[in-house]
């Protein structure tokens, strides 16, 4: 069990008040971590932080300055960051619009809100973990924090690995997961591999790719999705949390550049 012991480890969970974030924060806290809940929703973020006896910090992942302030605040409060989990996913009002209905500005907005945001989050976290401060990027050290390595976990998706099964959505008469989502998540997975290669051995960078998470969706969609999934159910947030705990713990000390699909077998077919 010591392999999974996170006692006194400082772990930042960005998107900690989202659909999956509270379960991730809870699991990390149960394993002893000092959890920093970072979210744009102040009220929800504070509730989650209170539930896990953690700390809340506001962050808007679409704002580079806000991201820097978050990680500076964590360093100011704890002197280090041991792990960073990037689980936020902002959506615009037209999130579900079809590919042909989106113009370039719509596309850029959503890709920036996910892929670019994850790149910025990863950069600022790694700057504060890697002994060189800026790795091989040649950029100046942003602060005086002590760096002795760490772990980054980015959130991908099964739809960053495979295309949606459009029949599942057609049976429920609901819009499919949008194209920009798949493009962003696929980019995040290869970004994760790139960063793992560049910043090893000091910083491990991995990804978790959830399958569909149950959230009171249309019953016809749920039935169609579960019929398509070997495990015959949608995911619960707690299913995803276990993979995150593993990746930030010493149990994964020789694991970097990997993507764990937590999808009930969806991508195995």
Q: What are phi and psi of 157, to 5 degrees?
A: -170, 155
Residue 231 covered by a domain:
yes
Closest to 83 in 3D by CA, of 19, 16, 144, 136: 16
Q: What is the mean pLDDT of residues 60-76?
A: 97
Residue 56 covered by a domain:
yes
- Domain of residue 188, residue span: 2-260
Task: Give me the CATH number covering residue 188.
Answer: 3.40.50.720
Query: Which pLDDT band, with edges at 50, 70 and 90, does 136 fall under?
Result: very low
Residue 187 covered by a domain:
yes
Question: Model confidence over 95-127: pLDDT tens digits?
Answer: 778 888 888 988 999 999 999 999 999 999 999
Residue 28 covered by a domain:
yes
> What pLDDT, on the 0 to 100 scale, is given for residue 144?
47
Residue 267 covered by a domain:
no
Residue 266 covered by a domain:
no
In which residue are the tokens 């953690």 written? 54
Question: Model confidence over 150-173: pLDDT tens digits?
Answer: 999 999 999 999 999 999 998 888
**Cβ contacts of 228 within 8 Å, gap of 6 or more:** 165, 168, 266
Tabulate helix, strand, coil % of the chain (nearest 5).
Answer: 45, 15, 40
> What pLDDT, on the 0 to 100 scale, is given for residue 133?
72
What does the block give as tokens for 76?
A: 């100011």
Distance CA 113, CA 115 (A): 6
Distance CA 196, CA 207 (A): 10
Distance CA 156, CA 139 (A): 27
Query: Which pLDDT band, with edges at 50, 70 and 90, does 138 fall under?
Result: very low
> How many structural domains does the chain have?
1
Residue 265 covered by a domain:
no
Question: Model confidence over 6-65: pLDDT tens digits?
Answer: 999 999 999 999 999 999 999 999 999 999 999 999 999 999 999 999 999 999 999 999
Does the annotation mark 95 as catalytic? no
By the 8 A CB rule, do 182 and 214 touch?
Answer: no
Catalytic residue among 71, 89, 181, 225: 181
């Amino acid at each position: 069990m010591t392999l999974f012991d996170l006692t006194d480890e400082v772990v930042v969970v960005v998107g900690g008040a989202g659909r999956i974030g509270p379960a991730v924060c809870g699991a990390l806290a149960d394993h002893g971590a000092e959890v920093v809940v970072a979210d744009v929703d102040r009220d929800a973020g504070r509730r989650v932080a209170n539930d896990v006896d953690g700390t809340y910090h506001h962050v808007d992942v679409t704002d580079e300055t806000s991201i820097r302030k978050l990680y500076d605040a964590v360093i100011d409060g704890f002197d280090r960051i041991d792990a960073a989990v990037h689980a936020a996913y902002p959506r615009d009002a037209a999130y579900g619009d079809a590919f042909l209905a989106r113009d370039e500005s719509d596309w850029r907005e959503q890709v920036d809100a996910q892929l670019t945001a994850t790149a910025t989050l990863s950069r600022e976290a790694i700057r504060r973990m890697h002994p060189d401060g800026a790795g091989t990027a040649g950029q100046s050290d942003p602060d005086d924090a002590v760096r002795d390595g760490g772990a980054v976990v980015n959130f991908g998706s099964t739809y960053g690995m495979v295309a949606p099964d459009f029949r599942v959505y057609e049976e429920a008469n609901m819009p499919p997961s949008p194209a920009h989502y798949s493009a962003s998540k696929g980019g995040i997975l290869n970004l994760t591999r790139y960063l793992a290669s560049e910043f090893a051995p000091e910083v491990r960078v991995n990804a978790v790719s959830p399958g569909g998470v149950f959230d009171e969706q249309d019953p016809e969609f749920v039935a169609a999705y579960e019929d398509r999934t070997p495990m015959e159910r949608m995911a619960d947030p707690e299913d995803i949390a276990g993979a995150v705990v593993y990746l930030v713990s010493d149990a994964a000390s020789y694991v970097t550049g990997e993507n764990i699909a937590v999808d009930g077998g969806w991508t195995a077919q």
